[in-house]
Amino acid sequence: MGGAVSGAGGRHLALPAGPAVSRPGRVDVLGVGVDPVTVEGLHAEIRRLVRRRGGVVLNVNAHCLNLCYEDPGLRRFFGAADLVFCDGAGVRLAAKILGGSLPERITYADWLPRLATFAESEGLSLFFLGARPGVAEKAARRLRSTRPGLEIVGIHHGFFDHAANSPENGAVVAEINAAGPDLLLLGLGMPLQERWLMENLENLNVGAALTGGAFLDYAAGNLRRGPRLLTDNGLEWLARLLVEPRRLWRRYLLGNPVFLARVVGQRLRMVDGSRKRQEM
């Protein structure tokens, strides 16, 4: 069933009943609408959401879309988000196969420094949630070293009991609300960060919540990016696989072909549907 998730500031994130429906302008990839947005457009939307309070900004890559394909509840959550941006070359390729277009891939490893500069210039406060103990602190120090005006009002690691009704989780939510950040950046990994947000959004007092995967490990310098020859040419997945083969081999070596097959299947259904309409 569909419903509404109420933000602490009074906004409502509507969760539609049934399959998620792409909003105008979004490119439908496996039932998830992806916004054709540039970094500049993303910053403008974040600015608007912070003023409204309670916004949700989600990133998608091939792995995430595979998860959404298999989980209708997760797919509905993405359909109800204020903005869903492309964080993978595979998603751009999928959009092209499906007859759409996404102007660029926005990946946190590249975007976070620009986001921090944007936040500093706009006077937006940040709260980091995720990664192992000490990682977020290191990331914050590195970002502040070149942006002394950057306001990071809170930090908490991601190793706590994530159950919505647990005392630990309640304490984390209370800590976030006490800080009242403009931007809550979640680095809990997919799909934990999305599920955590689904379960806790109604109790959060933030301007906008953004999912970011391993962004804190990159910002802290704990995770290497891989050769630029790969990352700049649509092979970020291969670069990550070379860096973390044991953890990521299943996601990429099995997940990527499955994703591509699903996209091709969607394209074939689109062509078949178009042909049948023409014959009517």
At 98, the amino acid letter reads L
State how far Cα 146 lies from the chain centre.
25
Residue 121 tokens read as 């210039």
Quote the pLDDT of residue 34.
98
What is the per-residue pLDDT across 59-116, written as a single tens digit (0 to 9) for each? 999 999 999 999 999 999 999 999 999 999 999 999 999 999 999 999 999 999 999 9
Give mean pLDDT, residues 8-20.
45
Quote the pLDDT of residue 23.
66
Quote the pLDDT of residue 4.
43
Whole-angstrom Cα distance, residue 68 to residue 91? 13
Using an 8 Å Cβ cutoff, are 176 and 127 in contact?
Answer: yes
Closest CA to 134 of 205, 219, 201: 219
Residue 33 tokens read as 């609408």
Cis amide bond preceding 191, omega within 30:
yes
Q: Cα angle at 107 between 220 and 96, to 5 degrees?
A: 165
- Please give the sequence-ordered ranges of beta strands (E in DSSP) within the chain, or none if there are none: 3-6, 12-15, 27-29, 32-34, 55-60, 83-86, 125-130, 151-156, 183-187, 208-211
What is the per-residue pLDDT across 157-189, written as a single tens digit (0 to 9) for each? 999 999 999 999 999 999 999 999 999 999 999
Give mean pLDDT, residues 247-268.
91
